[in-house]
Structure 1
Amino acid sequence: MPRRTATMLASTLMLIALLCAGVFIKVPYAEMSPGPTVNTLGEHDGEPVLQISGRKTYPTDGHLNMTTVRVTSADYRMNLVEAIYGWLAHDNKVVPHDTLYPDGKTEEESTQENAEEFSQSQESAKVAALKELGIPVDSWVIVSTVVKGSPSEGRLHAGDVIKKVDGKDVKEPSDVADLVTEHKPGEKVVFTIVPAKEQAAAEKEHRAATTTKNVTITTATSDDSGARRAIVGISAGTDHTFPFTIDIKLADVGGPSAGLMFALGIYDKLTPGSLTGGKFVAGTGTIDDDGTVGPIGGVEMKTVGARDKGARFFLTPADNCAAAAKDTPDGLTLVKVNTIADALDALKDIRSGDTAGLPKCTAKG
């Protein structure tokens, strides 16, 4: 066999051996890629994404698309060949596995957490949109979760309305922790609550809940890395009553990042005219009850997914601007927003066609 042929054969066999080895070598990475994008003004799986009853709505047009990211599952172990391909691919991103699933989080735990965040983002989107429209929303503090094995287990329940702690009014979720930590571990704290069942019945009958009861709990000692303090083993949150029904019908989506686009879709349906002027606008961002827009993960994947579907403008949380601007898809304008009011101002310029003054993302933010 000629020497050159032998060398080529040996090189080919070596390459095959390396590829085979790469398939079997598992690496601690996960992959992110562009996911589906859905028009909040349109339909998904045959039904409107936003369904509003009990209040006049108006026709809409154009697109206000929420965007998503696909990620490999928690139990999937990427091999070396896949990781290298992902690093080289333009539209994918390979990240350390623990970035997506910290502390050994399982697929089930991650799915549950994403579902809870998605549900909360829908509530905040409704509140933010109605506040921007000047429509009153009733709010109160509730028991959001109860830690298993804590002093509150079996005594407080998710959905209980917290009216007072030690006789002092509770107006914000943070008030609960502030009042509990005034105690020393081992001391008793008194919660005045409306039981969750009573609150649910009152809401169903469109009346104020009047039945309250006092629950006394002996505090325990915190076991985290922070300062030693009294705890009762609950997290407090906020619940709302809306003056009409707003349903968001979108399955198989998780996380909080669609909040801004849901809020804009709700606002558009409740106001005459079109927010977009028929233009294709996409975006992302968390939103809180006051309309503040927060950063999200995977923004580079979301801009790619949006542009592939035809978006020309992308509403981008200010804190994500620098990352998004590093590799902006051709034909897509990144618009910086800090609040829902910023987004509405930007949409006014977009629908008028006067986009020169839009606050655009740059590599510096």
Structure 2
Amino acid sequence: MYQFDERIDRYGCNQVKYDFVGRVAEGVRADALPMWIADMDFAAYPPLIEALQKRVERRTFGYSLHKTDEFFGAIRGWLRYRFGWEVANGDICYTPGMMTAIAFLIQGLSAPGEGVVIQPPVYDSFAEVIERNGRRVVNNPLIPREDGGYEMNLTQLEAQLRLPENKILLLCSPHNPVGRIWREDELRRVGELCKENGVFLISDESHCDLVRRGLRHVPVQQLFPGSPLIATCMTPSKTFSVSGFQIGYVLLQDEGLRGIWERESMKVHIFHPNALAITALQAVYNDCREYYERSLDYLDENLRLVDDFLKTEMPRARYRLPEATYLCWIDLRGYGCPPQEIMERCLYRGNVVPDPGAGFGQGGEGFIRLNAGCPRETLMEGLQRLRKAMED
């Protein structure tokens, strides 16, 4: 019987979250508890292990191609299961990762020096990939609410998208790190603004499956079928904690966009996923739905436990249950410490490693992002260490 409570040994597997935790800062102890990086600490699901074992037993690992009915069918079946969304085989473009896809799209849809709009605090690699490709970051910061939630600044966004030098809106949906699921009316307005101004919309929907019970994520492209302006980036990586396979896909429902994608990916010779990645994607999408549904219940309870703990043990912290993701966006400004001291307390006093909020850009100062995608014993240990860091 699969147990989400099982604590598995992740050390010695060349995994960034554990084996390279010392790179976070100088002097971080080897036994620091990693609660950073968005991958979960659960053991791989049994149907995935069985599929990989069968593939390994074939004893051959030559060049592999993903363009099969089985590969496309697994993705199409998952999108139908999750969103009631019908896509065609030809809409699906392979990518080795979400940021690779975003980089290709930025290169193909804009010119050096042109603007890409993002909405901080947001996944830190967004600003990095824009700048590394010679484009200009245009910030449209989210508006914090009194209840700890966030809204898009649609008024400022409209003004930014009207400027001819801004060519792309890079949307995080659901939003990492604040955990918002954008409502359908918000997504429709964003899509309409892009259409009115001829701005390309790249939607990173890496966390689209990890929604809390009773809530619903809508892929923005589903609201604008066939749009020549929208690219949707998806992956099983977050849902099933298989980031190490480096496999994802971009949904492009316009022939012109697919042509741009092919041109940019051919420049760097992106053709073949690795053999086991193909097996992994098909296994998790076809055969791991029961485990996925159980994981949502487990994560829901973890997120509630964080809420209960902070209210009783760390009342100066502010936290709002995320609508999506397993990431806790915790406001520690009530402790009166500068952002650097908050991280130093976590790393050296609490011996716990969250992500620093400042890394997510404007509006993240004084926050941390804590990963609750782990066995409950690990989570409670991490929260106790956080309390020690800030309260003792």
TM-score interval for Structure 1 and Structure 2 normalised by the shorter chain: under 0.3
TM-score by length of 2: 0.26
Whichever structure has more helix as a proportion of its residues is: 2
The answer to which structure, 1 or 2, has the higher relative contact order (CA under 8 A, 6+ apart) is 2
Determine which structure has more spread, i.e. the larger CA radius of gyration.
1
Whichever structure has more strand as a proportion of its residues is: 1
